[in-house]
DNA sequence: GATGTTTCACAGTA
DNA sequence: CTACTGTGAAACAT
């Protein structure tokens, strides 16, 4: 958390956005044709917007509503902004321009390509960037006119080109030409993230048959009752997270459904299609440099995830590129590459990447059957070298918890400084590019490499107070670490992985009769039935959706410990670290990456009936479910996207849990989890060893993919004085409320 | 059981 | 519309 918040400012420093204005006029609607009239979205519904003007289709001019962007009423490139910029101006698209609210390219033709795409949801805002002239001098490489490239190489390296002032600096690009960018550090374009189009945007969803309604146009719909405008919380980061959350929730649900039918599992493909079909994407316009809402270190488990948020717009190919105009010339340049990691020749230098070109391989097998040619992605990389373009790099890492899986890690911007041609083993020529990481960025893949080292040699991690504060109680050691101050550790407590009830609960949980393991297709399994007919977890151990209560298999079940429906009772599977935060005491983080929906840990301690604090002050280590976790309810998949009827849970049907857990005297890692108003973890009530539904286990799950070493936080809940009989803030200021330091833009200011 | 290799249907873009 | 681009997961092999 803290690291995240740190990282944003430091990143944007180099490419400061001078003036980003929130879009205020997006109108969220839910189509009544879907029969959603009774549908009432949760307060934190992730997608409540639909664009007021539908999708952009060639031949169908899209008018921006007159109120769409009163800041920039008619022109794409707002006069005031661009003309006061003596340095340069740039426009989002390489050859598209917007005038009078209509998307056109330079020829006045409507365009729908990546190069000149005017997405309907986005009114690109222009921002003038950095005034740092030195920056420009360093980064700008003049357009070279002698672009003929000879092979076989060696080709020229960046160093051959003397850094000179780019022409565009002295001669601002004509505003309307929609010229491309030279370097993100020079300038930058901002675009309101398109996101948050209404998921049910089309009133034309065809039931559960999501088969290829090819990118259909989304129609406007009206339902004023359901309009909501959290315009103040508009935020690119939030949008990206919402897209990814929606995708993965869909994916888990599809997986769950397919497992029942035991059909081929391509859940990510299907979920991706649904997202695309409903235009649930962020950052649809290609851009050079960082992408709003995506931070260095962010994780992705599928290529399609990166596509949906605009990090790398190729579903398969490794090199994403676009055509950019440089003054009078036009060149393809690379914007992002995915390094599948096949060429891990230098582990040492995490800042350098040798990347191979594409092409030359045969049709049906991977073997090289031809020389690679200087075209497509290869050409784009070559041009990027000469233009000094920043390229986003996504590197892969092994999934520690799931070997065989690989994880994509956004590692920030790189520049190519060298290219050459090499003879591959096959005897054919292959292009090679040397990419060097732009300095000054937060750690991305470097964090992974560090952790790898710590695993091999725990002593190499300095400042460790205790290698395992659980003393072997947890499945994995829990490191205690402080590199902030002199604190030698938290106050004394007894480490326990169990929940201790004050009096034993006699009410048993009924058990199932399944042999060895409960199967998703076994409708007779009583545990399945208790969970509403589905196993709550996917085969790889992810919670599919948040429920008021999850029933795991228990002692009276016939199935064995290997049953999938015993996920949380088996304890933690992550390598935790309790660490000293800068300003919020101790915190919790993990060495392992955590996937959205993954089990994190249980809130253990003593179940208590009384909420009283100790005489000596307060008990900070209390877990009390104050209401249903808002973050959890908005986490679930959107049934309408799969053609399922919405199943709103009547909020009055959910009984508040009576349980209060104190971890003051005994507890586990979860007692160190801090509060955040934008948490990455939520809690879920789980039953497994008894049947008293008022006193379940409190289990934490990941809201989204969490990179290693990111602080884990959950929402302690609203203070809710209005609902609490015994808790009223005392007038002398000694109340329980604490000032919140989570740093989230959505921060409520206090927590309890 | 763990790891490596092959196979195959496939999605989005140029 | 087609060619291009490897992917991701299962099946198979070691």
Q: Which nucleotide is nearest to A404 if distance is taken from CA to C1'? A: B3
- Residue A47 and residue A194: Cα distance in Å, rounded? 11
Mean pLDDT of A716-745: 61
Q: Which nucleotides of C are covered by protein (CB under 7 A)?
A: 4-10
Establish whether the CB of A265 is closer than 7 Å to any nucleic acid atom in strand C.
yes
A213 alpha carbon, distance to own chain's centre: 27
For residue A527 the two structure tokens come to: 């545990």
- Residue A687 and residue A111: Cα distance in Å, rounded? 56
| Beta pairing class for A599-602 and A605-608 | unpaired
Establish whether the CB of A516 is closer than 7 Å to any nucleic acid atom in strand B.
no
Lowest mean pLDDT among A67-71, A151-155, A162-166, A358-362: A67-71
Lowest mean pLDDT among A36-50, A402-416, A430-444: A36-50
* Greatest mean pLDDT range, A98-102, A247-251, A344-348: A247-251
Give tens-digit pLDDT for A581-598.
999 999 999 999 999 999
Q: Do residues A660 and A624 lie in contact, with contact meaning Cβ atoms separated by under 8 Å?
A: yes
Establish whether the CB of A247 is closer than 7 Å to any nucleic acid atom in strand B.
no
pLDDT number for residue A256: 87
Lowest mean pLDDT among A343-357, A392-406, A408-422: A343-357
pLDDT number for residue A719: 66
Q: Which nucleotide is nearest to A323 if distance is taken from CA to C1'? A: B14
Question: CA at A424, C1' at B14: how many angstroms apart?
Answer: 27
Establish whether the CB of A691 is closer than 7 Å to any nucleic acid atom in strand C.
no
Q: Which nucleotide is nearest to A377 if distance is taken from CA to C1'? A: C5
Establish whether the CB of A276 is closer than 7 Å to any nucleic acid atom in strand B.
yes
Question: CA at A316, C1' at B11: how many angstroms apart?
Answer: 8
Establish whether the CB of A314 is closer than 7 Å to any nucleic acid atom in strand B.
yes
Establish whether the CB of A317 is closer than 7 Å to any nucleic acid atom in strand C.
yes
pLDDT number for residue A475: 92
Question: CA at A299, C1' at B9: how many angstroms apart?
Answer: 26
For residue A101 the two structure tokens come to: 């609210």
Task: Identify the residue with better confidence: A221 or A335.
Answer: A335
Q: Which nucleotides of B are covered by protein (CB under 7 A)?
A: 3, 7, 10-14
pLDDT number for residue A725: 42
Establish whether the CB of A367 is closer than 7 Å to any nucleic acid atom in strand B.
no
Establish whether the CB of A176 is closer than 7 Å to any nucleic acid atom in strand C.
no
Question: CA at A316, C1' at B10: how many angstroms apart?
Answer: 10
Q: Do residues A369 and A428 lie in contact, with contact meaning Cβ atoms separated by under 8 Å?
A: yes
- Residue A292 and residue A300: Cα distance in Å, rounded? 16
Q: Which nucleotide is nearest to A269 if distance is taken from CA to C1'? A: B11
pLDDT number for residue A545: 93
pLDDT number for residue A536: 93
Question: CA at A454, C1' at C9: how many angstroms apart?
Answer: 31
Mean pLDDT of A514-542: 88
Give tens-digit pLDDT for A642-677.
888 877 665 555 677 888 999 999 999 999 999 999
Question: CA at A151, C1' at B10: how many angstroms apart?
Answer: 35
Establish whether the CB of A377 is closer than 7 Å to any nucleic acid atom in strand C.
yes
Q: Which residues, listed in sequence order, are joined to residue A240 by a DSSP beta bridge?
A: none
- Residue A98 and residue A91: Cα distance in Å, rounded? 10
Question: CA at A314, C1' at B13: how many angstroms apart?
Answer: 7
Establish whether the CB of A316 is closer than 7 Å to any nucleic acid atom in strand B.
yes
Which among A200, A280, A262, A242 is positioned nearest to A645, based on CA atoms?
A200
Task: Identify the residue with better confidence: A224 or A741.
Answer: A741
Establish whether the CB of A376 is closer than 7 Å to any nucleic acid atom in strand B.
yes
Instruction: Report the sign of the C-alpha dihedral through residues A377, A380, A386, A392, in that order.
Output: negative
DSSP 8-state secondary structure symbol assigned to residue A656: P
pLDDT band at A203 (very low <50, low <70, confident <90, very high): very low
State yes or no: pLDDT of A414 exceeds 60.
Answer: yes
Which among A573, A291, A539 is positioned nearest to A412, based on CA atoms?
A291
Angle A416-A422-A424 from CA coordinates, rounded to 5°: 125
Judged by DSSP in three states, A687 sits in strand
Among chain A residues 581-640, those with CB within 7 Å of any atom of strand C: none
Establish whether the CB of A340 is closer than 7 Å to any nucleic acid atom in strand C.
yes
For residue A342 the two structure tokens come to: 């096949």
What is the overall mean pLDDT for chain A?
A: 68
State the pTM of this model: 0.72
Residue at minimal CA–C1' distance from B11?
A315
Establish whether the CB of A322 is closer than 7 Å to any nucleic acid atom in strand B.
yes
Lowest mean pLDDT among A161-165, A209-213, A365-369, A556-560: A161-165
Establish whether the CB of A110 is closer than 7 Å to any nucleic acid atom in strand B.
no
Residue at minimal CA–C1' distance from C3?
A363
pLDDT number for residue A310: 94
Establish whether the CB of A221 is closer than 7 Å to any nucleic acid atom in strand C.
no
Q: Do residues A428 and A405 lie in contact, with contact meaning Cβ atoms separated by under 8 Å?
A: no
Q: Which nucleotide is nearest to A357 if distance is taken from CA to C1'? A: C5
Task: Identify the residue with better confidence: A406 or A244.
Answer: A244
Establish whether the CB of A359 is closer than 7 Å to any nucleic acid atom in strand C.
yes
Q: Which nucleotide is nearest to A308 if distance is taken from CA to C1'? A: B12
- Residue A168 and residue A536: Cα distance in Å, rounded? 57
């Amino acid at each position: 958390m803290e690291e995240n918040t740190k990282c944003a400012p430091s990143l944007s420093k180099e490419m400061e956005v001078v003036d980003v204005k929130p879009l205020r006029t997006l109108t969220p609607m839910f189509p009544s044709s879907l029969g959603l009239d009774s549908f009432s979205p949760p307060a934190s519904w992730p997608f409540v917007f639909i664009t007021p003007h539908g999708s952009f289709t060639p031949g169908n001019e899209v008018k921006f509503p007159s109120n769409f962007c009163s800041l920039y009423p008619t022109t794409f490139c707002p006069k005031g902004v661009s003309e006061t910029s003596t340095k340069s101006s740039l426009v989002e698209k390489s050859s598209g321009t917007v005038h009078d609210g209509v998307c056109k390219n330079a020829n006045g033709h409507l365009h729908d390509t990546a190069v000149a795409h005017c997405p309907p949801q986005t009114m690109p805002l222009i921002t003038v960037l950095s005034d740092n002239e030195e920056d420009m001098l360093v980064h700008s490489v003049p357009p070279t006119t002698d672009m003929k490239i000879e092979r076989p190489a060696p080709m020229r390296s960046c160093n051959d080109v003397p850094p000179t002032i780019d022409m565009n600096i002295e001669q601002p690009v004509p505003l309307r030409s929609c010229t491309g960018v030279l370097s993100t550090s020079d300038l930058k374009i901002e675009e309101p993230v398109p996101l948050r189009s209404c998921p049910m945007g089309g009133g034309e969803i065809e039931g559960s048959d999501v088969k290829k309604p090819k990118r259909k146009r989304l129609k406007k719909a009206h339902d004023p009752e359901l309009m909501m405008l959290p315009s103040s919380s508009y935020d690119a980061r939030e949008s990206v997270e919402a897209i990814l959350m929606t995708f993965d929730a869909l994916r888990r649900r599809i997986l769950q459904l397919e497992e029942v039918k035991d059909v081929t599992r391509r859940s990510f493909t299907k979920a991706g299609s649904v997202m695309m079909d409903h235009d649930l994407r962020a950052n649809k316009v290609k851009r050079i440099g960082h992408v709003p809402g995506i931070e260095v270190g962010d994780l992705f488990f599928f290529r399609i995830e990166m596509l949906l948020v605009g990090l790398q717009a190729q579903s398969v190919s490794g090199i994403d590129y676009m055509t950019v105009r440089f003054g009078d010339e036009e060149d393809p340049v690379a914007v992002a590459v995915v390094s599948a990691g096949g060429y891990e020749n230098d582990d040492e230098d995490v800042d350098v990447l040798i990347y191979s070109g594409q092409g030359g391989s045969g049709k049906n097998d991977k073997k090289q059957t031809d020389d690679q040619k200087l075209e497509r992605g290869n050409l784009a990389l070559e041009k990027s070298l000469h233009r000094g373009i920043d390229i986003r790099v996504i590197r892969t890492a092994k999934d520690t918890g799931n070997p065989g899986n690989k994880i994509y890690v956004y590692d920030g911007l790189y520049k190519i400084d060298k290219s050459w041609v090499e003879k591959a083993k096959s005897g054919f020529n292959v292009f090679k590019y040397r990419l060097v990481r732009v300095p000054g960025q937060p750690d991305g893949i470097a964090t992974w490499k560090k952790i790898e080292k710590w695993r091999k040699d725990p002593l190499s991690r300095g400042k460790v107070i205790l290698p395992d504060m659980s003393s072997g109680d947890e499945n994995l050691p829990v490191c205690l670490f402080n590199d902030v101050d002199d604190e030698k550790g938290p106050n004394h407590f007894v480490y326990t992985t169990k929940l201790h009830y004050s009096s034993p609960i006699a009410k048993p949980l009924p058990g199932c009769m399944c042999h060895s393991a409960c199967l998703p297709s076994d409708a007779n399994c009583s545990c399945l039935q208790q969970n509403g007919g589905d196993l709550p977890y996917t085969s790889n151990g992810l919670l599919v959706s948040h429920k008021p209560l999850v029933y795991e298999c228990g002692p009276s079940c016939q199935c064995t410990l290997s049953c999938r429906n015993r996920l949380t009772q088996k304890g933690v599977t992550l390598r935790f670290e309790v660490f000293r935060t800068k300003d919020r005491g101790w915190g919790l983080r993990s060495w392992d990456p955590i996937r959205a929906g993954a089990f994190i840990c249980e809130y253990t301690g003593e179940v208590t009936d009384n909420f009283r604090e100790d005489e000596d002050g307060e008990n900070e280590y209390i877990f009390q479910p104050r209401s249903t976790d808002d973050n959890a309810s908005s986490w679930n998949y959107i049934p309408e996207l799969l053609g399922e009827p919405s199943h709103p849970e009547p909020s009055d049907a959910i009984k508040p849990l009576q349980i209060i857990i104190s971890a003051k005297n005994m507890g586990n890692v979860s007692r160190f989890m801090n509060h955040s108003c934008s948490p990455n973890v939520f809690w879920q009530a789980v039953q497994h060893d008894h049947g008293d539904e008022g006193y379940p286990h409190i289990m934490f799950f990941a809201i989204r993919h969490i990179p290693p070493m990111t602080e884990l936080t959950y929402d302690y809940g609203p203070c809710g004085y209005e609902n609490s009989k015994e808790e009223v803030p005392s007038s002398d200021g000694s109340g329980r409320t604490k000032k919140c330091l989570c740093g989230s833009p959505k921060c409520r200011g206090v927590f309890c």
